[in-house]
Structure formats: structure tokens, C-alpha cells
Amino acid sequence: MKAPKTNQQFNENQNEKNFEKVWESCLKIIKDNVNSQSFKTWFEPIKPIKLHNNILTIQVPSQFFYEWIEEHYVTLLGKALKTELGQECRLEYSIIMENNNNSAKPYTVKIPTNSKKALVNPSISMPLDISSNAIRNPFVIPGLKKVNVESQLNPSYSFDNFIEGDCNRLARSAGFAVANKPGGTSFNPLLIYGSVGLGKSHLAQAIGIQAKNNFPNKTVLYVSADRFMTQYIDSVRNNDQNDFIHFYQMIDVLIIDDIQFFSGKEKTQDVFFHIFNHLHQSGKQIILTSDKPPVEMIGIEPRLLSRFKWGLAADLQAPDLETRIAILEKKLYVDGIEVPKEVIEYLAYSITNNIRELEGALTSLLAQSTLNKKAITLELAKSMIDKFVKNTTREVSIDYIQKVVSDYFDLSIELIKSKTRKREVVQARQIAMYFSKNLTKSSLASIGMQCGGKDHATVLHACRTVNNLMDTDKKFRSYIEELEKKINVM
């Protein structure tokens, strides 16, 4: 026959059975003393394991999580536990180690504790509550009490204002997919690269804006590489690098513009490497822009370059004529301004490789028209373009040459590009090839492709034919001289 249980044994058994209720009561006290986001981030993941001899054991997800609780909430935990179990209670942590060994030996800490441990191993941290004053937001000027993370996005850089063309279709499509499922596609990271002024920043921010609209609860942040580096230097100077790292590790959609500026910055690359790893492993979306593809980046560590290749590298190319015209028409439509079609075409023919310059030229034209009270005409556009690009090396485009030649002979550009063998069309096509070779830096193959899909041999034959006719036919030579003047008026 079993001996009856003593009162002490009975109380111990009751405590062991009620550890979940004890923790539940502690959570009610804690919930009244922290904001809802802090509670959700730092206390909901904790699991009570046992209560024995007035020692409550709780399980936390990581070493960093344990240290953060110890650093910021141990006093509150102590008060809650003492309320439930009395002054002689203690708390133990069972920490899930990185190798997922749940049976790791618990850390034992007496309450209250005065230990203030430094945050370590930032690469395994949890998402942080930025409303807590403990993490410094690098986007907030010290002294201002603003705790929310502003996206830093320009609202005018939306998908609605991003004109799609053959030059950017892949990048735009991938960006739209990312915006609708950030972190959930194979395009992570998404690296958008291309020359200056082709819309990299616009597209990257459009993705951020769309993601923010689709998922209001996600934290989206756009930052230039230069600003990221400045913030990191400040964190080193202020000895709060951990705050800097943990701030960026809690972002859901991180957009870094002009990543090539990290070149040669070893410390910045090292800290970004840890941030990148954490975000990628946590299923967060990373979007980068660069003026070069990963294979051409110099001064970037191989371990970072390899990670840039994990997702998709999509390029933005110089816009074709139709896309340039569409960009100008869209801008005019948004501003509610009407401009003659010939002026729009002239601007699109004149500036071919930089969307930013193209839009700037239109803005300058509108300003001249308004301030000088002049009508927007082709003559005003020519005068403005000459001043606008006077100090830059301006190359005549093949599109513009074809436009001048087709107007001169009263033929359509489509006809010149067609496969017809009519004498007048063939001659106009040959003249367009001749000027394209002499006035542009395009290759013979590129000229032939834009003049109806011809090969380089056809372009050479056309140039020889034009030169021969100029030597033997005065009327034909006068055609060429007149056309050259018209083209050079640009």
C-alpha cells in the first residue's frame, strides 16, 4: 500500500501541473505593460516548459532572443513572476540552439538579474520591434520622437508611370511578380541593372510601392547605397552597430539602390552580407539596382556576388523610338498639356539613350514656352535641344536619320524598313544606311538590323552605291547634301 502524499509533494505536483496557468497569468500582467507589437514579437513565441521548486522554465527561439529578453524585459518578467509565485521564485531559459537541438542545457538566471549582456551573433536575430526605444532608427534625426519606419519611396515612381517596352519588359514583369508576392518567388534577390537614366530607381521604387499597397503590414524600405554606408559609419562612430544591423534585419522588403557603390568598402560589404543572409533565410524580399551585371562588378566580395546570382538579374536597355514617344506622351497626359506630335517625335529622335534627359528636355521646353510666352513649335524645340545638349557629345540616331530621309522622299519609315525592291524605296534605304554608317557609332550589323533586317554586307554595298552615285550624278549629290544639312540641323 502506497504512503499518502505529503503537503509539500502535493503542492509540487500542483505546481508542475499548473505551469501553463502560471505563465498565462504572467502574460496578462506583461500585456498590460507593453504595446501589442512588442508583446506579439517578444512574448507570444515563448513557451512554458515546467515549474518545479518555484523555478519556471521557459523556452525561447534563439540565443539572441534570450539576450534581448534579458536586456530589455527581465525586470518586467521578474515582477510578473513574483506576483504569481512569490519573492523566492527563479527563472530558467531553455534556448533552441542553431542546430535545432531542443534539448540544450538551459541557462539559469536568478530574478532579478543585473546582467547586461551585449548582443551577439547578429546573423541569427529575430525581427525587432522598432517602436521600442532600444533600437535606434537610422532614418530618424536624434531628438525627434518618430518611431515608425517610413518607406522613403517616391509616390510618383509607380508602375502606372513606368512605360513598358521591349527594352524593359523582363525587368518590369519580374518586378510586378515580386510586388505581388514579396519573398515568395524565385526572384530573390531581384537585381535590376542598366546604364544611367534608364529607370532603375523608378522600377525598384514602383515594386516597393506596389508591395506596400498589397501588404500594408509589411515594412518596406528604400535606401541608396550611399546612405546605407553613411548610416553604417555613424553606427560605428556611436558604437551601436548592433542596432544598425537589427534595424535592417527586421525589414520585409529591402530596396538598395546603386549597390555598385559598395565596391571596395569591405566593412560595409561584411555587415550587408549578414543582413542579406538573415533576410533571405527569413523569406524577406531583397531588391538591388546596379549599373552593371554581377559578372562585371569590380571590388565586390565573391560571397556577395554569388548571392546576387541566387535570384534574377534583369537588365534595362535604352528605350526604342516607340517607347520614348510613349514616355513623353504619358508625361504630357499626366500634366494635362498638349504638344504638337512633330515636337514629341523630334524630342524622341534627338535624345535616345537616357530617359531622365528625355524628360528633362521636355520640362525645359515647357518652361521656355511658359516663361517666354511662346507657342510650343518645332523651331522652339530645335532651339531648346541645341542648348540643352550643347555641352554633351550628342550622337545622331538611326531612327532620326530614317525619319529625315523618309520625310525628304515622302515615304513612310515602315516602307523603308520593308523588304520591297521598288527603286525609290531601295535608294532611300541605301541613303539611310549611308548616313547611319557615317554619322553614328553603330556597327554595320546593327545598322542593317534597324534598316529592315539586312546584314552587314548589304550595308557595305549600300554605302559603296551611294558614294559611286555621288561621284557620277550631280542631282543625286545635291540630294545627299540637302539631307546632310537637314540631319545636322538636329
Q: Rounded distance, CA 156 to CA 416, Å? A: 39
* H/E segment holding residue 56: strand 55-60
Q: What is the mean pLDDT of the chain?
A: 78
Q: What pLDDT score does 386 carry? A: 66
Grouping H, G, I as helix, E, B as strand and the rest as coil, residue 70 is: helix
pLDDT bin (cut points 50, 70, 90) of residue 204 is: very high
* Lowest pLDDT segment from 126-130, 200-204, 239-243: 126-130
Q: What is the pLDDT of residues 322-348, one digit of tens each?
A: 888 888 888 888 777 888 888 888 888
Q: What pLDDT score does 489 carry? A: 58
According to the per-residue pLDDT averaged within each range, which of 5-9, 29-33, 171-175 is highest? 171-175
Q: Rounded distance, CA 209 to CA 179, Å? A: 8
Q: What pLDDT score does 254 carry? A: 94
Q: Is 373 left (phi over 0), alpha (psi -120 to 50) or beta?
A: left
Q: Tell me which of 92 and 100 has the higher pLDDT.
A: 92
Helix axis angle for 63-72 and 74-85, nearest 10°, is 80
pLDDT bin (cut points 50, 70, 90) of residue 115 is: very low
Q: What pLDDT score does 477 carry? A: 86
Q: What is the pLDDT of residues 123-160, one digit of tens each?
A: 323 333 444 444 566 665 444 333 456 788 888 888 88
Average pLDDT of 109-127?
Answer: 35
- The grid coordinates listed for 96 are 533552441
Amino acid code (one letter) for 453: G
CB count, 10 Å around CB of 351?
25
Q: What pLDDT score does 335 carry? A: 74
Average pLDDT of 158-187?
Answer: 86
Q: What is the pLDDT of residues 417-428, one digit of tens each?
A: 888 888 888 888
What percentage of the chain's residues is helix, strand, coil (to nearest 5)? 55, 10, 35
Is 182's pLDDT higher than 80? yes
To 5 degrees, how large is the angle CA 141–CA 157–CA 146?
20
Q: What pLDDT score does 61 carry? A: 78
Q: What pLDDT score does 104 carry? A: 43
* H/E segment holding residue 107: strand 107-110
Percentage of residues of the chain with pLDDT beyond 70: 82
β 107-110/190-194 pair status = unpaired
Q: What pLDDT score does 448 carry? A: 85
Percentage of residues of the chain with pLDDT beyond 90: 9
Q: Tell me which of 313 and 450 has the higher pLDDT.
A: 313
* H/E segment holding residue 222: strand 220-224
Q: What pLDDT score does 85 carry? A: 85
Q: Which of 64, 36, 37 is closest to 219 using CA atoms?
A: 37
Is 373's pLDDT higher than 90? no
Q: Which of 399, 370, 400, 368 is closest to 381 using CA atoms?
A: 368
Q: What pLDDT score does 222 carry? A: 92
- Residues 29 and 80: beta-carbon distance below 8 Å: yes
Domains and CATH numbers, the chain: 7-117 (3.30.300.180), 159-316 (3.40.50.300), 321-388 (1.10.8.60), 398-488 (1.10.1750.10)
For the chain, give the longest Cα–Cα distance. 130
- Could you identify the residue written with the cell 510618383? 156
Q: What pLDDT score does 286 carry? A: 94
Q: What pLDDT score does 117 carry? A: 35
Q: What pLDDT score does 299 carry? A: 86
Q: Tell me which of 37 and 49 has the higher pLDDT.
A: 49
Average pLDDT of 423-437?
Answer: 88
Average pLDDT of 445-472?
Answer: 86
